Amino acid sequence: MELKRVVVTGMGALTPVGNTLEEYWNGLINGVPGANTITLFDASKFKTKFACEVKNFDPTQFLDKKEARKIDRFTQFALVVSDEAMADAGLTPDNINPDRIGVVVGSGIGGLITFQNEVMDFAKGDGTPRFNPFFIPKMILDIAAGQISMRHNLRGPNFAVTSACASSTNAIMEAVNLIRLGKADIIVSGGSEAVISEAGVGGFNAMKAMSERNDDPQTASRPYDKDRDGFVMGEAAGLLVIEELEHAKARGAKIYCEIAGCGATADAHHITAPHPEGLGAKNVMIAALQDAGMQPEDIDYINTHGTSTPLGDAAEVKAIMNVFGDHAFNLNISATKSMTGHCLGAAGVIEAIAAIKAVVHDIVPPTINHFTDDPELDPRLNFTFNKAQQRPVRAALSNTFGFGGHNACVIVKKFEG
């Protein structure tokens, strides 16, 4: 069976550095830091008092006020982004076959804010079980995909994917495979996450995973810097309209890029720490290259997982060196989490969007907040520190890795008809 080719025809993004696709991209290439003091709750007693929040977000600008109250913040994000992605792809109720369009949306945690608030309200009471009837359907992480399908009347395959911080990249991979196999013509796919809350920040603080650089939050996310001290929590949503090539051509759709290949592996090592030699990361990049039928020399840019943790950044660099050899020194490498923070289950899709835009515009977004070289990292590598760089980008690779040892990778390349 000959597999069908897969392209991207629409995108939408809501991030800490921009509330639309173009605002997001402009924020990245201009090196805008997304971190600041937390406003979503009183974090004054927490070890970490800052995060990369989505700014100036009012769901009632996009959703009916009554309906907005019935859905968690992560689903609100997903619905807003679905409107942008569908419009960007030129899809309307009049020109789609709803039975051939599906939705696959990833989230690492789902409706944590709803879960936290409901349980805290119950704990304050007399023990009588009084819960909001929307508690469960607001919380479950598959509801974003379900709500998107209902909003746009999309009746094809519909489900959620969760693999911690790799969730939205795995969602993209599932979408690609559904289209390759002819199960759908279009899949709206990506991820959403919104867990900047007492439970989210407190839980990650307890793991000692997050930066505590409260005196300088805007420079706290420092991938590949010697003084990096942990990730900065972010929130975001992003969606791709992933489409079968001939279907896209037949309707005259604009094509951003081709999705050439995907890969997924496991570290099988530790619940939170990466394999110290980057074994799973190495294997997932090899798997994606093989799936794409490409050689390491075909890649020009890697958007790394690059969370700003001491162990994670070092392990990923080892993996890149193992896969790319001397070609690693010809690559541009950047960690856009230096600007967006770590958006957990939404990280993969917004970073895939960054890779796609790099391919489209031949511009590599920077790794900001670099102050001190890490002597453990090869100085010949081009981490695109502090300033975007123009260069030909024929193909780009995007890595995402999640707690539990989940690794996912997607390769995008310039579309050639």
Domain-located, residue 255: no
81 and 204: one domain?
yes
417, pLDDT greater than 80: no
**260 in Cβ contact with 270 (< 8 Å):** no
**374 in Cβ contact with 225 (< 8 Å):** yes
326 and 210: one domain?
no
Nearest Cα to Cα of residue 265 among 350, 169, 159, 188: 169
Helix (H, G, I), strand (E, B) or coil at 263: strand
Q: Indicate which CATH number applies to the domain containing 39.
A: 3.40.47.10
18-37 pLDDT per residue, tens: 999 999 999 999 999 999 99
Domain-located, residue 1: no
**407 in Cβ contact with 267 (< 8 Å):** yes
Domain-located, residue 2: no
330-343 pLDDT per residue, tens: 999 999 999 999 99
Across 238-269, b (16+ Cβ under 10 Å) vs e yields bbbbbbbbebbeebebebbbbbbbbbbbbbeb
pLDDT of residue 226: 98
150 and 180: one domain?
yes
15 and 43: one domain?
yes
Domain encompassing residue 337: 261-413
d(CA 107, CA 75): 10
pLDDT of residue 337: 98
239-250 pLDDT per residue, tens: 999 999 999 999
Burial level of 180, CB count in 10 A (0-12/13-18/19+)?
A: middle
335 and 364: one domain?
yes
Burial level of 218, CB count in 10 A (0-12/13-18/19+)?
A: middle
pLDDT of residue 188: 98
Q: Which of 52, 165, 257, 343 is catalytic?
A: 165
Report residue 87: phi and psi, to 5°: -65, -40
Domain-located, residue 311: yes
**DSSP-assigned letters across all residues of 96-153:** --GGGEEEEEE-SS-SHHHHHHHHHHHHHTTS-----TTHHHHH-TTHHHHHHHHHHT
Total domains in the chain come to: 2
Domain boundary among 250, 280, 315: 250
Q: Which stretches of 172-216 are assigned E, i.e. beta strand?
A: 186-193
53 and 180: one domain?
yes
228 and 279: one domain?
no
Tokens coding 151: 């909003």
66 and 206: one domain?
yes
Domain-located, residue 87: yes
Domain-located, residue 256: no
165 catalytic per annotation: yes
Domain boundary among 215, 250, 285: 250
**107 in Cβ contact with 74 (< 8 Å):** yes
169 and 272: one domain?
no
Integer CA distances (angstroms), 273 to 49, 207, 310, 342, 350, in order:
24, 11, 10, 16, 23
What's the rounded mean pLDDT across residues 40-45? 98
127 and 205: one domain?
yes
What's the rounded mean pLDDT across residues 341-370? 98
Helix, strand, coil percentages for the chain (3-state, nearest 5): 35, 20, 40
193 and 298: one domain?
no
Domain-located, residue 225: yes
312 and 360: one domain?
yes
1, pLDDT greater than 90: no
Integer CA distances (angstroms), 146 to 15, 69, 150, 387, in order:
22, 17, 6, 40
Tokens coding 333: 């490498």
Report residue 325: phi and psi, to 5°: 55, -135
**189 in Cβ contact with 174 (< 8 Å):** yes
Domain-located, residue 50: yes
Q: What is the pTM of this model?
A: 0.98
